[in-house]
Amino acid sequence: MSRPVRIAPSILSADFARLGEEVRAIDAAGADWIHVDVMDGHFVPNLTIGPMVVKALRQHSAKPFDVHLMIAPADPLLQPFAEAGADIISVHPEAGPHLHRSLQAIKALGKRAGVVLNPATPAESVDHVLDLVDLIMVMSVNPGFGGQKFLHSQLAKIAALRQRIDASGREIDLEVDGGIDRTTAPLAVEAGANVLVAGTATFAGGPAAYADNIRALRGA
């Protein structure tokens, strides 16, 4: 079955000194979503941005803000990120004791709710929350840093999740994040993904190259 593929450039690979301009540039270049990687230096070994930065960037694009919370505990920051302008908020099952409650909280804030599966997290982790999720993201690298190599072991998981989504009859996006480039993008899509997060592959070469980079990923 053919699904339109969305490209969600990760601003983790953008020039942090010019974030507003970078978001405007990738929006104009054809990005479907703006992917925001939030890391706390605790759940993952890196520290990135908080709600204030998301709020500041919100005025630079009307595209959906796809906010990936690599933080633990995540629950206390759901409302601040929602109020800052996140459209989709995704959490890891390992980031708190009650995944179901976290997803309920995201939905109650009027946002789309996502679950993120690390490389070692099994597809079965979503089986009892499929009625609540709008997005499932498969990490095809270990989270925490950009520029890592795609883990081919995750393709079987993507395929398994696609079967679950189709069987549920619900409109759930299947997103893949990590090591996505012109070579790995078709593999992820073939396995069943319909949203591709790409940092290095979209931001390489500076603003003049963004449109070509996005077009190449979509065409791949």
**What distances in angstroms separate CA 121 from CA 45, 83, 124, 149, 157, one per listed residue?**
18, 29, 8, 18, 9
Return d(Cα 201, Cα 180) in angstroms, integer: 7
200 known member of a binding site? yes
Known binder of ligand: residue 205? no
Asked whether residue 177 is marked as a ligand-binding residue, the answer is yes
Q: Is 10 annotated as a binding residue?
A: yes
Q: Is 50 annotated as a binding residue?
A: no
Q: 178: annotated binding-site residue?
A: yes
R_g of the chain computed on alpha carbons: 16
H-helix or E-strand spanning residue 111: none
Q: Are 9 and 214 in contact (CB under 8 A)?
A: yes
> Is 166 in the active site?
no
Q: Which of 37, 40, 75, 134 is catalytic?
A: 37
Among residues 32, 75, 177, 181, which one is catalytic? Answer: 177
- Catalytic, 177? Answer yes
The 8-class DSSP code of residue 129 comes to T
Phi and psi, residue 74, nearest 5°: -90, -30
- The annotation status of 37 as a binding-site residue, yes or no, is yes
Q: Does 169 carry a binding-site annotation?
A: no
Phi, psi of 217 (to 5 degrees): -65, -45
* 56 neighbors 21 (Cβ within 8 angstroms): no
Q: Is 85 annotated as a binding residue?
A: no
- Secondary structure class of 2 (helix, strand, coil): coil
Cα dihedral: 174, 179, 181, 184 (round 10): -70
The single-letter code of the amino acid at 31 is A
The residues with which 142 forms a beta bridge, in sequence order, are none
Annotated binding-site residues for a divalent metal cation read 35, 37, 68, 177
Annotated binding-site residues for substrate read 10, 68, 144-147, 177-179, 199-200
Residues recognised as catalytic:
37, 177
Annotated binding-site residues read 10, 35, 37, 68, 144-147, 177-179, 199-200
